[in-house]
Amino acid sequence: MSTVGRLPGIVTTDHVFRVPLDHERPEGERIEVYAREVVASGRENDDLPWLLYLQGGPGGKAGRPLGRDDWLNRALDDYRVLLLDQRGTGRSTPANRQTLARRGGPAEQADYLARFRADSIVRDAELIRRLLLGEEGRWSLLGQSFGGFCTLTYLSLAPEGLREAFVTGGLAGLRSSADDVYRAAYPRVAAKNAALYARYPQDVAAVRRIAAHLAQQPARLPDGGLLTVPAFQALGLMLGAGSGSGALHYLLEEAWVEGVDGPELSDTFLTGVQAQLSFAQNPLYAVLHESIYGQRSVDPAGTGWAAERVRKEFPAFDADAALGGDAPVLFTGEMIYPWMFETDPALQPLRETAQVLAERRDWPDLYSPERLAANTVPVYAAVYFDDMYVDTADSLETARAVGNLRFWLTNEWEHDALRVSGRVVLDRLVRMARGEA
């Protein structure tokens, strides 16, 4: 029986679906996928069109609404919304160090996780659509970031299930390998570092001081994780959000206290760092991150720790070299490195599994350029000119390659605009769909 909840301005209904682990073997093992239906209060019985929301990630559960928050405030004007906890996340059958240990060794765990990419997520969504809307029912789709990648996969595999699609910060390069992605990403991250240091010039010295200290004496985080110089640099993931540079600056402000033996990194700082760096709540983000770019027709050799390999082409990110001279220490961005599976307690048990996935070859293709070129489903996309996470050039190339797609290019917002803009971004895309913008 579904559980119904009421919060300010909304009514929610829980749904749990049993789906095949491997959609090619529907008679085999099944897992659970959870979704939360949300409708505006007073409209529970209205015949509203459905809007499926696909969260960013990989490995991110859908948001937990407390009312008509953020983009939901606009969506609920017109839609009945389904917030999907993509397989392995949230209230769906979990995939983490605790549950994966039951699957066997690293090879067995990797084989299991290979079925947690966008193609499986789309097939889950199609099964759910047929159960909720009937075979002929079609729904709208909103894909944020990785959810936009999944939208392109949906349009490639099952466009007949969609009446329209909205994409925010998620037009992936259809033919971009993992190497291509990171080769384009490092210069964007360097630009975000430059903007950080231009806004807060004092942070150049502050970051160098912390990095120099960690080079001599790595610090223990409250959860037992190890804060090394590369881990400290990974805080650059924050720089892709609209308020990210300010949040990072304020974190740096409270880095030091005067201890018994002199200056030491403060508990406040270390706790804040842990909150940013720990993958305890979303381990799939780390384990599957590079695999979301794997396609046999693009890179049959697999991904092979592309971010680590490509980083060598950008010596400006070498902290040791920076500390040996007078250059600023640069933060990295949305990159996953092998050492993360040694320093993060939540990832340590998955180190060998991640290695097997990195070495995996022959990933099935996620996109059909031919089918996307002939697409007839209306698609409306927001492309952020200064997006640190998704390459603008790739997004614009994809926008031109997908049939029946209109895009809005803006430098007013960053990658998190759907959430932080309230109604603004989604309203613009909906008005585009209605011929009003």
Token couple for 379: 């698609």
How close are the terminal C-alpha atoms of the chain, in Å?
42
CA distance 371 to 70: 33
424 close to 249: Cβ distance less than 8 angstroms: no
Token couple for 122: 């789309």
Q: Among 415, 416, 421, 427, which one carries the catalytic annotation?
A: 415
- Of the candidates 220, 204, 190, the one whose C-alpha atom is nearest the C-alpha of residue 252 is 204
Q: Establish whether 177 is a catalytic residue.
A: no
Residues whose CB is less than 8 angstroms from the CB of residue 250 and which lie 6 or more positions away in sequence, other chains included: none
- What burial class does residue 198 get, using C-beta atoms within 10 Å of its C-beta: 0-12 exposed, 13-18 middle, 19+ buried? exposed
Hey, what amino acid is at 10? I
Q: Establish whether 415 is a catalytic residue.
A: yes
DSSP-assigned letter for residue 291: G
| Integer CA distances (angstroms), 88 to 217, 296, 324, in order | 36, 24, 43
- Phi, psi for residue 434 in degrees, rounded to 5: -90, 5
Q: Among 145, 177, 278, 421, which one carries the catalytic annotation?
A: 145
- What burial class does residue 55 get, using C-beta atoms within 10 Å of its C-beta: 0-12 exposed, 13-18 middle, 19+ buried? buried
CA distance 366 to 293: 8
Token couple for 235: 């805080």
CA distance 282 to 97: 11
- SS3 state at 18: strand
- Of the candidates 118, 120, 130, the one whose C-alpha atom is nearest the C-alpha of residue 56 is 118
Q: H-helix or E-strand containing 199?
A: helix 178-199
CA distance 382 to 385: 10
- Dmax over CA atoms of the chain, in Å, equals 71
Token couple for 246: 């300010």
CA distance 151 to 122: 8
CA distance 405 to 390: 18
Known catalytic residues?
Answer: 145, 362, 415
